[in-house]
Structure 1
Amino acid sequence: MDNLEIIKHVTLAINPEYQDWVLFKNGTYIIFDDITTVKDVKDEAIQLMKEFGPVFAGGSAGDFSVIHLNSTEGWLVSGHGYGMYTYVHPSELDNETPNDLEIGLYGRSKRNSDGENPEIEHINNSINL
């Protein structure tokens, strides 16, 4: 899946009420409630990703929930960072009928990769920054 396809799926996955978000290379994104209060969106997103992206066993960073999407294919995996989700497309998994544990573990590994090496792919904002 190319970058434009991921952006399309993530856009469809997000509640249209939220227009301000940052997407990272491995499909993790962060929603900002009020981007006008953020001094530098790139810096803030990278800081949040470094803080809440990496997974540490035995703590809240390892916890996740799986959200089944209706507006597009795939799932969102949420973790312990507020407004942070990881998009998982069905083509990324070997199993054609994966369960929530498989989806969640895969999404969590993607979030961990984004946390360890945060690379921004796209910034979506409702105002011109």
Structure 2
Amino acid sequence: MSKENLIKNVKLAINPKYQDWVLFKNGTYIIFDNADTIKSINHEAIKQMKEFGPVFAGGPAGDFNTIHLTQTEGWIVSGHGYGMYTYVSPSELENTDDLQVGMFGRSKRDLDGKNPEVIYINSRKK
């Protein structure tokens, strides 16, 4: 999936009332409720991704929930870390049952956690 398509799908996946969020290369994003109190949303997102993104066997990051999207195709996988979600496109998987989608989303979050690369920042402050 291209970077532009990923950004477009994530924008459609997020409730419009949330305007401050950061998207990482593999589709994980973090929504910030209090972005106006954060000096650098980019640095805070990377800090949180390094802390909550990596998945370790038996750890809380292994738990997940799969959310079916209505405004775009695909799913959001939620888990450990407040406001942290991972977008999964139907084009990424052949088997799209909730368990497979969740496991795949969790692996994408793990990649973002181990090598966080911000590709897009959405902010009310322009």
Paired positions, count: 126
TM-score for both structures, normalised by structure 2: 0.98
Aligned to 2:69: 69
C-alpha deviation, 1:42, in angstroms: 1.0
Aligned partner of residue 113 in structure 1, secondary structure: helix
Q: Which residues in structure 2 correspond to 1:77-88 (within 5 Å)? A: 77-88=77-88
Aligned partner of residue 44 in structure 2, secondary structure: helix
Distance 1:35 1:86 in 2: 20
Q: Which residues in structure 2 correspond to 1:89-104 (within 5 Å)? A: 89-95=89-95, 98-104=96-102
Q: Which residues in structure 2 correspond to 1:8-87 (within 5 Å)? A: 8-87=8-87
Question: Which 4+ stretches in 1 moved above 2 angstroms?
Answer: none
Distance 1:63 1:112 in 2: 12
Specify every segment of 5 or more residues in structure 1 that has no aligned partner in the other structure, as ranges: none
Distance 1:127 1:34 in 2: 12
Distance 1:60 1:44 in 2: 21
Aligned residues: CA RMSD: 0.6
Aligned partner of residue 16 in structure 1, secondary structure: coil
Specify every segment of 5 or more residues in structure 2 that has no aligned partner in the other structure, as ranges: none
C-alpha deviation, 1:85, in angstroms: 0.2
Aligned to 2:4: 4
Percent identical:
67
TM-score for both structures, normalised by structure 1: 0.96
C-alpha deviation, 1:94, in angstroms: 2.1
Alignment pair present for 1:121 and 2:124: no
